[in-house]
Amino acid sequence: MPRRPKYPPYVNIKIPRDLVEVWETNLMDILFTEKEAEIAKRIIKYIKENERIYPDEYKQIINGNVEKVRYFRVLRKMVSLGLLKRGKDSSYILSEEFALKLGAMLEKWKAITG
């Protein structure tokens, strides 16, 4: 029986100081390192084309064992951020939870600033 995936309880995000850089930078490049962002983009592209990704379909996205480790790290981080969620049969689908989290933070900030 396979182990249950462990998702990190917190994810650190490095937000650029310059507002222009935030607007011009791809979201995946802000959330992930350069190599992780490439894998995240491939995961999202695959899910858009096929509606979901099953656990054994990672072989169609990555090449080699080094990318395999990075793939599962990115997948766990994407679930923790709310970019993906678990679907039927242990598959992963795109999620709106990330937008909801950002919206909640925005509302809290607006309440602080009045």
pLDDT tens for 49-65 read 999 999 889 888 988 88
CA 108 from chain centre, in angstroms, equals: 23
DSSP string, 43-110: HHHHHHHHS-B-GGGGGGT--HHHHHHHHHHHHHHHHHHTSEEE-GGG-EEE-SHHHHHHHHHHHHHH
Quote the mean pLDDT of the chain. Answer: 90
Kindly indicate the confidence band of residue 46, based on its pLDDT and cuts at 50, 70 and 90: very high
pLDDT of residue 1: 57
Kindly indicate the confidence band of residue 15, based on its pLDDT and cuts at 50, 70 and 90: confident
What letter represents residue 97's amino acid? Answer: E
pLDDT of residue 2: 64
Q: Mean pLDDT over residues 67-85, rounded?
A: 93
Q: Walk me through the domains of the chain, giving residue ranges and CATH numbers.
A: 19-113 (1.10.10)
Residue linked to tokens 């850089």: 21
For residue 113, the tally of other CB atoms under 10 A from its CB is: 6
CA 92 from chain centre, in angstroms, equals: 11
Q: Mean pLDDT over residues 90-105, rounded?
A: 93
Taking each helix axis from N to C end, the angle separating 34-50 and 64-81, rounded to the nearest 10 degrees, works out to: 70
Kindly indicate the confidence band of residue 10, based on its pLDDT and cuts at 50, 70 and 90: confident
